Structure 1
Amino acid sequence: MRKASRLFEIIQILRLAKRPVTAAIIAEQLEVTVRSVYRDIVALQAMRVPIEGGRGIGYILRPGFDLPPLMFSIEEMEAIVLSLALLERTGDGELKQAAARIGQKIAGAVPPPLRQAMDAKALYAWGSIAPSPTADLASVRRAIRDEQKLDIAYRDELGRETQRVIRPIALIYYSQTANVVAWCELREAIRNFRSDRIEACEATGQFFKGDGERLRALWVSGWEINAGRQAG
């Protein structure tokens, strides 16, 4: 376990403890030597973390101390860095901008060792970048949250265009495009609409409040039915 992760875990152990915790117990939980725990405790105290106690007695975290709102282990930070990098490869402009803001906020809130993990540029998301779709995915996501119907002009794989009123319930992001999952009032069924084939998209002002979860459950049940057919 890396040192930055150990420091974080030691604070967590002491913060949750009801009584003094010995270095031996901490070492057993973290699978490190007792000597490493002693060194880590000294390092934390030098960082002004209010840890009290000593060898053979155990350690406690003085009341009133708490972790910052954003506190991650090295591995958790690496997961965030990679997730934000993957998000950059979607065609969703608003989410790309949000990813950049998230990175800046986290970098400004976490301790220096974790900030270094963000700035190391050692993790990359490779592959093609999805082109920006004709549909505004930000408005689609808002419609999903608000359970509002959308009026779309949709062009199928043969180039035929139809006008649809849909009840959007989910967005699936692929490397090449994003698919809008919705109840189509024209077909009276769940349908997937490729965002790069949506020529126009407008909110109708009509809502399907409270029905989103049911439609998502219906969508998921279709996976199970299809999986059963393939297995057979």
Structure 2
Amino acid sequence: MRRAGRLFDIIQALRIAPRPITAATLAEQLEVTVRTVYRDIATLQARRIPIEGAAGIGYVLRRGFDLPPLMFTADEIDAIAVGARLVRRLRDPGLQDAADAVLAKITTILPDRLRSGVAAAPFFVSDGSAAVPEGIDLSDVRRAIRETRKIRITYADAEGRRSHRTVWPIAMLYYVDVTLLGAWCELRRDYRHFRVERILTSTLLEEVFPTAGGKLLEGWFVLQQSRAADGKLFG
């Protein structure tokens, strides 16, 4: 979790807490160390957030404090509501949970008159038909993309033939009926796209791959555009 998000979550936890919360409890909720919580609390206090308390006793947020309300236009609120519902239909549990968390945060800090526009928006998005991946955690894939880490996979093609590959994950492609991993394949020495439901096993490696100053992604993007123009779906 990024620090900005963690600071926000600390404020939210203190806002709804009926009694003082210890740093140990916050650390467990946020999956960080107690020392990190102490630093974050000190940062918030330095920014004049009225947090009171001490180590070993617990912390409270002084009554009456609230975050400045976010101001959105009607179209922006509609975009948030529709966007979150679109994410929910992806076969990516991590992103689904994140979409719900975003809606919860936004509805908490919006003025009352705007909350229903997000929480109970009259927009309905159809379910996707992409298969649910069982051999790979898509949260690990997105992490690997961010951290430029290699992934070792066992992959089955359309005929069921298996191969073992080490890939450099570059991008995720979410279609209604299929989810693809765009990557550089060490076995084929070329760009490849893998249907995530055909990945039988996967291991996130510590080894990082070179990005060639952005040229690796640029090369994939050019290829993706070319094939998309030809109406081809990567498999």
> Aligned partners of 1:226, 1:219: CA distance in 2, in Å?
11
Is the 8 Å Cα contact of residues 148 and 209 (structure 1) preserved in structure 2? Answer: no
- What's 1:92 paired with? 92
- What's 2:74 paired with? 74
Is the 8 Å Cα contact of residues 133 and 177 (structure 1) preserved in structure 2? Answer: no
Q: Which moved more, 1:179-188 or 1:168-177?
A: 168-177
- What's 1:112 paired with? 112
Shift of 1:68: 3.0
**TM-score by structure 1 length?**
0.65
Length, aligned pairs only: 164
* Mapping for residues 73-222 of structure 1, pairs under 5 Å: 73-134=73-134, 135-211=136-212, 213-222=214-223
Rg larger in structure: 1
Shift of 1:126: 1.3
Shift of 1:132: 2.3
Shift of 1:228: 7.6
Deviations 1:168-210 (A, max 9, x none): 0000011223100000000111100000000011012110144
- What's 1:25 paired with? none
> Aligned partners of 1:212, 1:180: CA distance in 2, in Å?
21
Unaligned runs of 5+ in 2: 1-66
**TM-score by structure 2 length?**
0.64
Is the 8 Å Cα contact of residues 168 and 184 (structure 2) preserved in structure 1? Answer: yes
Alignment partner of 1:152: what SS? strand
Alignment partner of 1:107: what SS? helix
Q: Which moved more, 1:117-126 or 1:167-176?
A: 117-126
170 and 128 in structure 1: CA distance in 2 versus 1, 3 angstrom threshold:
closer
Identity of aligned pairs, percent? 36
**Residue identity opposite 1:151 in structure 2:** R
Shift of 1:224: 4.8
Is the 8 Å Cα contact of residues 181 and 191 (structure 1) preserved in structure 2? Answer: yes
212 and 192 in structure 1: CA distance in 2 versus 1, 3 angstrom threshold:
farther
